[in-house]
Amino acid sequence: MTWLIIISMAAVVFVSRHLLLEPKIPIRLSKNTLTFLSYSAPAVLTAILAPIVFVPEGELAISLYNPYLTCALVATVLAYITRNTLLTTVLSMGLFFFLY
Amino acid sequence: MSTTQSISIPTSKMKSFLSGALAVMPLTIAVIPWGILAGSFALEIGLTAVESQAMSAIIFAGSAQLVALGMIKAGIGFSSILITTLLITSRHLLYAMAMRSQISPLPLKWRLGLGFLLTDELFAISNQAHGGDTPAQYQFDRWYALGGGLTFYIGWNIATLLGIVAGQSIDNLGELGLDFAIAATFIAIVVPTVKKPSILVCVLVSLILAVVCAVFAIQAGLLIAAISGMAAGMAYAKLTNEGIFDTDTDTPCADIAPTKEDTL
């Protein structure tokens, strides 16, 4: 069962990455589909990260004593100001492991 | 410059390969805690060491792997896992679309190889390489992309292996807060993409719904939050007549605009 999941997931992921690189595939994505898809990266990534930050122990933790939240806020400010991926991740992770 | 590429790889290709490897190095380092988590978490929920490594080696999609592991742990069925994977991976359709004009003319082995390696990180460094230029304005370097993609692949798999090895000897690896690495990386990727009010709306709706669903332990939370966020962003853009393709950014949608001949 595990192998079925792994191989099926691999197929889904690979097809999504490779499909539109094939010259023989005529692109028929409408403008609306493209617009909708353009929101997929921010929406999906946010939906994954938000519970990690706000609900670390299974309960809502909006408090400065929640290191996930404080460090995520620091990361947000760093990312906004510097727009530098490495600086943002390294500094906020460093602070997190210091606080945690 | 040598043209005898059958004998040795010409130095210019090697140079491109290495500069791609170097460009992706910061992101590769940032993904290490995340890879360790993927390896140790897989073991923790009952996968064998081989299965755990195979996830990283064959699927090669960090967020999809971790979300799927969480779903396997929660006893969620096969079809729900695949639907969620499809949603999480749907952003790659857009990356491929944006890079179509450069990669689709390459030979099949290159298309398959770069397609397999096309991650958020490879897309990010491929865009950095040409600054603000549109794809038509710069020379796509396949060796640069291969160097970046392969380096990231190897880094991800070594980190996973570390997680598997550590997970076998150290208990409670999951309690070290490695999951913050995911949050930090995604914040670093998402924040700079918020260049329009509609994207902010999308992010906020997705964030609030994801938190609400997590608090009430709703299993389909990721699907609900992400699809609602996408719909809210699109609705806001339509209602306010916001420009869909902003031309001076390096977001995927901006890169698609110049390849109009493809969309017709």
Residue B58 in domain: yes
Q: Is residue B91 part of a domain?
A: yes
pLDDT tens per residue, range A4-15: 999 999 999 999
Q: What is the pLDDT of residue B263?
A: 34
Per-residue DSSP letter, B153 = H
Number of cross-chain residue pairs from A and B with Cβ atoms under 8 Å apart: 287
Helices B11-30 and B32-44 pack at an angle, to 10 degrees, of: 60
B103:A21 CB<8 A: yes
CB B82 within 8 A of CB A9: yes
Contact list in A for residue B66 (CB cut-off 8 A) is 48
Query: In this structure, how many other beta carbons lie within 10 angstroms of the beta carbon of residue B262?
Result: 16
Q: Is residue A22 part of a domain?
A: no
Asked if the structure places residue A5 within a domain, the reply is no
**Residue B38: which of B72, B65, B73 has the closest Cα?**
B65
Residue B151 lies in a domain: yes
The pLDDT assigned to B8 comes to: 61
Q: Which domain holds residue B111?
A: 11-191
Identify all chain B residues contacting A1, using CB atoms and an 8 Å cutoff: 78
First and final C-alpha spacing in chain B? 40
Q: CB-based contact (8 Å) between A9 and chain B?
A: yes
In this predicted structure, what is the pLDDT of residue A12? 97
In a domain? residue B63 = yes
CA distances from B258 to A7, A20, B80, B184, B247 (A): 35, 16, 36, 32, 9
Nearest-CA distance A15 → chain B (Å): 9
Counting as low any pLDDT under 50, the low residues of chain B are: 1-6, 130-137, 246-264
In a domain, A83, yes or no: yes
Searching chain A, which residue's CA lies closest to the CA of residue B100? A21
A positions 24-53 inside 8 Å of B (CB): 27, 29, 31-32, 34-53
The reply to whether B230 falls in a domain is no
Q: Three-class SS string for chain A?
A: CHHHHHHHHHHHHHHHHHHHHCCCCCCCCCHHHHHHHHCHHHHHHHHHHHHHHHCCCCCCCCCCCCHHHHHHHHHHHHHHHHCCHHHHHHHHHHHHHHHC
Residue B140's pLDDT is what? 80
| CA-based nearest residue to A49, from A26, A78, A30, A71 | A71
Crossing angle for the helix pair B179-190 and A67-82, to the nearest 10 degrees: 30
pLDDT value at residue B244: 53
* B244's tokens: 């869909």
Rounded to the nearest angstrom, the minimum Cα separation between A33 and chain B is 10
Looking at the structure of chain A, the number of domains it has is: 1
Contacts of A83 in chain B (CB under 8 A): 191-192
Q: What is the pLDDT of residues A26-37, one digit of tens each?
A: 876 788 887 888
Q: What is the pLDDT of residues B148-205, one digit of tens each?
A: 999 999 999 999 999 999 988 877 666 677 889 889 988 988 998 899 999 999 999 9
Distance CA A42, CA A35 (A): 13
Average pLDDT, chain A: 90
Domain count, chain B: 1
Boundaries of domain holding A60: 28-99
For chain B, percent helix, then strand, then coil, each to nearest 5?
75, 0, 25
